[in-house]
Every structure is written in structure tokens, then in C-alpha cells.
Structure 1
């Protein structure tokens, strides 16, 4: 190509680039935003002309007529510049109209040009006087609305069913009007508007025939409207899992026909006296998860309802076991966790609901034991028992055979695990951790391995061998025996537990070689063997699929010697997993589905990883005897305390490759430098 042609081509290309950037700059300039569409400016002007300005139409002292300067000629002809009007910066369509406190007076009927603004997303007409207008059915012409505020504007009549077509609504405020909500009713309104987060209906007349009001998990904010207490026919009121606050109106507790009251998981505060409950039919009463203080019945002559479901977790109950539970012999579900209940669980409570109680949660109190000493707890149909986080002393309480979840961690229990625990063949979760239990593990413990998913015995004083008795149809998914005095070898019957995801036996006295046979487990993700007496050479894996799901491995503070085979690093590809949407380096099954009971139970798990206690090169001494090996990492020392659950596990370096393959013995220096260069250097940058 001749040089002159090349020069001309380059010049033309440069000019095109300059033109492109000039057009981009012009497009981004504020002065070049599109003007308001003519049909929308005319619609706004006609809406203005259908009303008059009257200073008494708005009550806010700062109110002023925003529409006064709207014009369709001159410099102000662009409606996007009008007070109270918001336009889309790209399309020029009117997307917001805020005429609150604008001194507007007059009627809005079905012919109003307001309903021509079909691109509206926000509409605020609060604090005006629309002369007892009804909300027109033409509201359906604004399908993009997500924020609607018509409060204090003299609207009247029935809220139209067409409002249910505004499926994008997130916030509605219709308060302080003479409106009725009957057809549709409140229940129908909330069920249809699935994106609704804020609903204000103060002063709105709800149907007097309202019998069931279930608004659970709808992100409702504000206080409970006092008018709810006027609906004496209510038999079920559900406002759980919202963001409601303030005190609970006493009128709610006086509803005479109420059977179910669910106010749990909100932000309510104040004091609740259960003696205020007036409905003899009330069987379900739940206040869990609020900032309430519940007190007992101060008037013994007033009989309380016979509860079946009672949720008073985290309700600041204090002192001895709540005496208002006397005579509650129909109990099925009891939540009293997270309170300040002291002393012993009384004999009279143990005689309640012996045939009906299936869920009992007393965690996080100051309970010290049971007043009545018995071999097996008396609730014959119990399925869920949580006594964790108390001050229970003495022998391990044994629940009935029906139990599927038993948690008694973080107490002061002593003695052995009785043989009777092996009869709990329905158990799914058994947690006895952080107690002072001792002696050997019963051989029959393997009996529950064909039903259990979690076996947690950590931080006790168990000794002897781990029973080699895991059943052929083992269902265990998590085994945690760490911080005990267990000896011997890793039982080979553990190979039957093919569902295993977590195995932690750190800080014991296990004397064995590296358990390469665990590599066949298809779901094993966490393997922690730290601080034992494991020894010998770690041989090469026999197949490329060994430990293929492993994400966390800690072999530190043992007496392995030799070199860690490179093939393991090739097999451990699961360690490299990074989730682009969320920077997680490990994620496991979030919950257990308890088959046959219609329950989903979340199980949380924690562990400690160590990185030699100093994140430097291995020591120069070789492993020979106990004096040469690295000391076990002390609690609270330079170790990584990593909390993770079946919901989410976050761990490791910023890159996501988690390797706690920290050996308490020397690795060849050249091999170590090669490993750092090839596997860690890029991530440390």
C-alpha cells in the first residue's frame, strides 16, 4: 500500500475516533438529556388544571403549591424540570411524581390524565385534599409502580381490587383516609403483592368479619395497628418474621376467640404479662426473637389457656422455672431458650405433656439439673431436645427412644455415656461436646451409626480406643472426636460411612499411619488429624480420584516423615473452588432434611486450623521422638479460629486454595521452595 494511502487511512481512522468520543461526550452531557415527551407534559398540565390550589388542603407547615410554575411554553416547557417531576435520564419518560403537601384540592376520577403516565414508578400525593374521591380502578394503568403514597389526602370508599395488579409494589401508604379494605381483604392484598415490604393502613377500615390474618414473612414495618384489636372474631393472627416494632397493643391479648397468635422474630419491646390473655381457646402463643420481657400470671384466679405451642425464647424470663406453666398438660412444642432461668427443672414440669411433648428447647439458661432423678426422661414422644449452654451437672440425661435430635453441649456433665444411649436408634444428631464426660466409649455406640448424621463428642475426657463398630449401612456425615484422650488406631469399620463429609479427631493420642484408605470417600471435605501420634511415610495415592472432594486437611503436629507426594496436590482440585457470585472457598450442604418428620434442621459446625503457629519455613529438626515434634497449638494462640456451618464455610487465603497440610516434620528445603514458588507465590502477590 502506498505511504500516502496509509497516511490517509490513519487520518480517517483518527477522525472517526475523535467523532466517536465527541458524540459520547455530547451524549453524556447534562444539557443533552432528552426532553419530556409531549403527551406526558400535556397529561401533567391537564391533571394540574383539574385541581385548584388551596392553602388549607395541606396540613404540613412547609407545604407549597409545587404545580404553580408548571408551563408548556417558554424556558420551562420541559416537564422534566418541573417541581415534583422525575424523568428517566435516558428515555425522558416521567417515572416519578411527588406532589405531597402541594395544597391541591379537587377530585380525581377515572378520566384523570394522571393515569396516562404509564411509566410512573413512584407516586406520592400525600397530604392534599382530593375531596373524598375514590381510588379509581384505572390505577391498574400504572403497572410499573413500586412506591405508592396516598396518605392523608381525603380518599374514601373501597380500595379497588385492581390494586392487586400492581405486582411490583414494594411500599404502600394509604393511611389516614376513609378507606375500606374488604374486597380484596388484607390477606388477599398481601398474598397477591409478593414484593411488598412496607404497608401502612392506619385508619383503614378492615372487614369486621376478619377471622384469619396471616402476614408472616412479608417484611412489614411499623407498629401493629390498634384496629386489629377491634376484630373480636379473629381466631388466627400471624405477624411473625417481619420488622414490626414498638409495644404490642394489649387489645391483641384480649381478643376473646383467638386460637393462634404468632408475633415471633420482630422488633417488639416492652413487657408482656401472660395473665392478660383472655382467649380460653388459645393453643399457639409465640413471642420468640423480640426484645420483650415476659412475666408470669400475677393473678392466680385467672386461668391461662391450655397451650400446645409455646414460644418464649429470648423473652427475658428470669429466676426459677416459670410457674405459670403449672397445669399445662397439653404441651407439644416448648421454646424457652435464651432466657435467664435458674436452678433445677422441677418435678411438676417433668410430669407435664408426657404423651404430647415432642419439642423441648431450654438452651442458653442457667439450669443446673433435674429435680427428679430418673433413668430416662419421661416425655415418651419427644423428638427434639436441646439442653445446650446451661450449667447441668451430674450424669448424662437419657432421652426417650423417640428422640431424633439431642443436644446437651456446653454443660458440666460428668461420668460415662450410659449403654442406654445406644438404644436411641432414631437419632439423627447427637451432640455431647464441651462437658466433663470420661471413661471409654461404649462399644454399642455403633448402633446409632445407621441413623445418625452427626456424632459430636468433642472436648471431653474420653479414653481408650474408638469402637470399631460402625455399621455396614452407616449414615454419618460428621464425626467430631477432637480434644479427648482417645488412643489406638482409626477404626477400619469407618470405611462403611461413605456419606462422611467431616472427620475431626485432632488432639487425641491416636497411634496409626496415614489413613490413605479414607481417600475412597466420595464426599469427604474436611479431614483434621492434627496433634496425634500418627507416623510413617505418606505414600503416593493409588488412584487419581482419592480425596477428590477434600477442601480442608490438617496433618500438623504428628510424626510423619519424608515428602508429601505431589500427586495429592493434583488430586485436591476441590480446594481451588472459587464462587464468582460470592467469594466462598468452601460450601457444604446447608441443612439436614429429617425424613418422615417434615422438618429441616440446620446444623452448625466449627473447627480450628493451625499453620505451625508461626504463617515461616519448617523447623530444621527431624522427627525422632516426642521432644522433637512440634507442640500442639494452644487454644487462643496463633491459630486460625474458623467458624463455618452446613450453610457456609469461609476459610483460607485470598485465592481460595486452602491447605492446612502443615506437617510437624521437616520437608526438604528445595521441595518446600519449589512448592511455594509453584503454588503460593502468585496468590501472595
Structure 2
């Protein structure tokens, strides 16, 4: 099933354009107009199909527009159905979950539905995604029936509990432009040359979460699909030995338009990079996360100027990020290098050249040194995660917005590093929703500008060395705050808090390790009226316990 869970706006737009171009060819002239044109034989086949799904007294619950009554006789107007506006033949059958109002498609027998589809020979669009079969869904039986629908250009059988091997007959569907068999983990794919090579019109192919452990020829076959723009093989049990020799990879004729490639959650060899770089001028989205890739960071990535989305997380990439990386990658909006073995400093080029970045994740490596000033000046950056490294130096936040109309940063996670210095003026980042600075070496006073972050929901500055007093100014506009952690800052105090102060926030979600030292004088004790106000904002299933002189610790009870 086509997934876009982590894509940013440019990727969604690009993938959407692929779908729109493809879908317009299916649906452009399919609306029924004028006199009813529904073919009686096809209408009866559809009614029988519905009865197979909803047999018994409630057979019309799921598709109320599919009915026998005279006023609903026009099947071309039924939900999930489209017809050719000239001939009246049914061309589209969509039984995907989005079609159904209060239920989903479940068929009593795979044999029933495939026999009924034989009465719809003009179908060019068939979506059975998410359909369940009460009997064991044998792929050979399904394909045996579908292979007669030679006009099909769109076929979606994702998450249909299909199992077994794909028979060569599927190659008869030579007009297919879209094929999705994803989410059928009992489906075994091998000898792709026998069928996939015959589908030369394919533009989008999704075989993710199937079993391709014996598909040794996948690269060779994929390279001979000249129109392929989208390929998803995520979690399909590809093995290291599936990647062919470097000499072969250097002489192959790859698809000239492959734009989106997802090979994540497989076991791949670093040799895969040699094949990928044959697509350096076309790839826009590349996902290789969790592929067990053990190698140094490939320098050739800097030549992939069209890349907008790159995910290399959860691998074993070693060494430093090349200083030249980013020099030609100014189209990147999404970059995830987290959970690797990268070391050294963050290249300045990441900020100087990748000026369109929206998401940057460098967490769980051993990166060191100071975060370059150029990173903080990326106007479009919404998410910066660099937690669990060995970063040091100070936070060189932007002090003006001369380069940006508005800084977009919403999520900043720098937990568990060695960052020093004070928390500087942060008003340039007024969109911050989460600010996570736990377990660093930050010290000095906490800037009062913190209180201007009206969108802030989570604030964690625990386990640092902050000192001095925090006043109502630090919280003045934190209207959305629901998680606050100031613990383990032994010299940090709440001071000069009026006894009638009403906090602007609602601590209604979760507070972890909240420690307050609230002196009424320079030595002081807990000011009961202040603590009672804070406690009143805490859910009843959370309990505040004293843990020392003037210090309270909040325990979350589940």
C-alpha cells in the first residue's frame, strides 16, 4: 500500500502528481451522463458481488447505493463504480476501505469474486485493497481470473491475505500501469523475469511486505521497466546476495524516470549504492532505513542533486559526514541519518547549502563539536533532532530574522549531549512546540524570552546546571504548556511569585521528574500557596512527593 507517513510537503506534491497523471487516464471520461447506460449483465454481476459480501438479512448495509429498486437501477452512479460515458460498460470497481460507510469488504470465497469479475471485462481500474476472504486466498486462483481482464491498468490487491506464488499469467496484464500487492506476507515472489518483465508499462509498483527472499533477479528485472517512476520493496526480505556484481551494475540500462524508491527494512549490501547512483539525476525520494548497511558515508550522495527526501537511519554508517555533502543537495527537505555510527563534526555545508531543509535528524550517533550557526539560520527547518550524541559548544541561535520572514522551527531535541553555556534569547523561534534540552551542561540564568513561546507544549531543561531565579515572566505566555520538567537543576529557584498568581497553562498531560525549589527568601522554604496552585493543575493520578529541603518530586502513577 502506498505510504507517505514521513513525507514532507514537496514529496507529497510530487507523489500526488504521479497519481493524478495516472488516475486521470482512468477516470477522465468515466462519469455516466444523460440516459441510464448501465449494462444489465454487469449490474447483476455487481449485485451478486454485493450479496457475496453481505449475504443474509443485512446484505445491503455496506453499500446502500447498490440496490435492486428502480430508482437505484443506474449502477454507473453507485458508490465505487464508474462507467465509460459512451459505452456504459463498467470500467472502475473500487472496493477499498474508503468506499464503505460502516463496514469493509469481506468475501465468502475467492472463487466467487473472481468468477463474477469475468462478467466485467471492460474494467481498467480494480481496487480490492483490504478485502478479506473467508477461505484461503490463493494467488494463482485470483490471477487465473484476473489475467482475462486485459484492459486493466490499475490493480490494487494490497492487504488481501493472498498467499502462494505469483503465476506467470499475471504477465498477461500488459497494460498495467499501477500494481500494488503489498501487505501480503504469505505471498512469495521469485523468478520475476517470468511475469514482471512483461509488465513494461508499469509506472508504480508496490511489493512491500511480501516475501521476496528468493527473488534473486529483482534488480535486473526492475531495470528493464522503462516507465517505472515509483518502486516500494520495503520489508520484503531482500537479502545481501540479491545485489549483483559491480561490473554488471556499471553496464545496466536503468529506468530513466525512477523518482521514488523505498528499499527500507531489508538486508542489503553496500553494493546497492552503485546501482542507486545510476539514478542520481532522477531520484527524488530514497528510503534505505534499517537495511543493515555497514559502510562509510557514500560521498556520491553529494551528486544526487534532485534528492528531496533521504532516509539512511538505523544502519551502521561509519566515519564522518563528508564536508562536501550538501554542496549540490539544495533540494533536500528531509534528511534522516539517525541511529548510525557517524562521528566528527556536523558539516557547515548542511546549513549553508541545504536551505530548503524541513526535517533534520542526526540523533543517536557520536557526533561532536558545536552545532554550526548555519543550521540555526535555515528558515524552513521545522524539526531538528540531534539528541544522544557528544555535541558540545554553545547554542548559537539566530539573533535576527533578516534572512527569514519567519523561522519555522517547531521541534528541537538536543537531549543527552554536552552542550554548554546559557540558554540564549529564543524569541526568533516563536513556533517552538517542543524544547528538549535534558542532560546537557547548560548553565547560567534561564532567559526570560522563554515565556514568549506561546505555542510551546513540552519544555524539558532537566539535568543541567541552570541557576538563579525564574519568575512569572518565564511563564507569561506559555498558554499551551502541558509538560514541564525543571528537575535536577539544584541552584534553580522559582522566586518573586505573587501568592495570587494564576499560571496561564494547563498541566494536563504528563510531568516527569518536576523539581521545584521555591524559596520565600534567599534560603527560604516552599511557598505553600504557589505549590498549591501548581498542584491544582496536575491530574489527580499524579502525586507530588517531597524529596529534600524545599524540593518536591512529581511521581506519575499509571
TM-score (norm: length of structure 1): 0.57
Partners of 1:438 and 1:192 lie apart in 2 by 48
Report the equivalent of 2:118.
206
1 or 2 for the larger relative contact order (CA 8 Å, sep ≥6)? 2
| CA offsets 1:95-123 (integer angstroms, 9 cap, x no match) | xxxxxxxxxxxxxxxxxxxxxxxxxx975
Partners of 1:660 and 1:666 lie apart in 2 by 18
1:437 to 341, 362, 367: 367
Which consecutive unaligned segments of at least 5 residues does structure 2 have? 1-52, 65-71, 81-87, 108-112, 524-535
1:478 aligns with 2:385: no
Shift of 1:355: 1.8
Report the equivalent of 1:284.
204
Report the equivalent of 2:439.
507
Shift of 1:495: 1.0
Shift of 1:213: 2.0
Shift of 1:456: 0.9
Report the equivalent of 1:426.
356
Partners of 1:270 and 1:316 lie apart in 2 by 10
Report the equivalent of 1:557.
488
Partners of 2:542 and 2:448 lie apart in 1 by 17
1:247 to 156, 164, 169: 164
Answer yes or no: is the 8 Å Cα contact 2:212–2:238 preserved in 1.
no
Pick closer, same or farther for the CA change 1:567–1:520 going to 2, 3 Å. Answer: farther
| CA offsets 1:33-62 (integer angstroms, 9 cap, x no match) | xxxxxxxxxxxxxxxxxxxxxxxxxxxxxx
Partners of 2:293 and 2:494 lie apart in 1 by 52
1:261 aligns with 2:179: yes
1:91-240 aligned at under 5 Å gives the runs 123-124=55-56, 145-146=61-62, 161=73, 183-184=89-90, 187=93, 194-195=100-101, 197-200=104-107, 201-207=113-119, 209-210=121-122, 212-215=124-127, 219-222=130-133, 223=137, 225-226=142-143, 227-240=145-158
Pick closer, same or farther for the CA change 1:469–1:658 going to 2, 3 Å. Answer: farther
1:666 to 530, 549, 556: 549
Shift of 1:611: 6.1
Pick closer, same or farther for the CA change 1:147–1:495 going to 2, 3 Å. Answer: closer
1:360-439 aligned at under 5 Å gives the runs 360-369=286-295, 373-374=299-300, 377-396=302-321, 398-399=325-326, 400-422=329-351, 423-439=353-369
User: Residue 124 of structure 1: SS of its match in structure 2?
Assistant: coil
Answer yes or no: is the 8 Å Cα contact 1:489–1:511 preserved in 2.
yes
Answer yes or no: is the 8 Å Cα contact 1:417–1:441 preserved in 2.
yes
1:309 aligns with 2:234: no
Pick closer, same or farther for the CA change 1:344–1:300 going to 2, 3 Å. Answer: closer
Partners of 2:96 and 2:414 lie apart in 1 by 49
1:7-86 aligned at under 5 Å gives the runs none
1:560-575 aligned at under 5 Å gives the runs 560-563=491-494, 565=497, 570-575=502-507
User: Residue 393 of structure 2: SS of its match in structure 1?
Assistant: strand
User: Residue 485 of structure 1: SS of its match in structure 2?
Assistant: coil
1:546 aligns with 2:477: yes
User: Residue 465 of structure 1: SS of its match in structure 2?
Assistant: coil
1:520 to 452, 455, 469: 452
User: Residue 203 of structure 1: SS of its match in structure 2?
Assistant: helix
User: What is the number of residues matched between the two proteins?
Assistant: 447
Answer yes or no: is the 8 Å Cα contact 1:445–1:467 preserved in 2.
no
Report the equivalent of 2:274.
347
Partners of 2:165 and 2:261 lie apart in 1 by 22
Partners of 2:263 and 2:382 lie apart in 1 by 26
Pick closer, same or farther for the CA change 1:420–1:573 going to 2, 3 Å. Answer: closer
Shift of 1:445: 1.9
Answer yes or no: is the 8 Å Cα contact 1:556–1:662 preserved in 2.
no
Report the equivalent of 2:49.
none
Shift of 1:296: 2.6
1:297 aligns with 2:228: no
How well do the aligned residues superpose, as a CA RMSD in angstroms? 4.3
Answer yes or no: is the 8 Å Cα contact 2:478–2:505 preserved in 1.
no
Answer yes or no: is the 8 Å Cα contact 1:446–1:471 preserved in 2.
no
| CA offsets 1:588-620 (integer angstroms, 9 cap, x no match) | xxxxxxxxxxxxxxxxxxxx94468xxxx99xx
Partners of 2:222 and 2:380 lie apart in 1 by 46
Shift of 1:459: 0.8
Report the equivalent of 2:4.
none
Pick closer, same or farther for the CA change 1:463–1:380 going to 2, 3 Å. Answer: same
Partners of 2:477 and 2:447 lie apart in 1 by 12
User: Residue 537 of structure 1: SS of its match in structure 2?
Assistant: strand
Partners of 2:544 and 2:397 lie apart in 1 by 27
2:243 to 314, 322, 336: 322
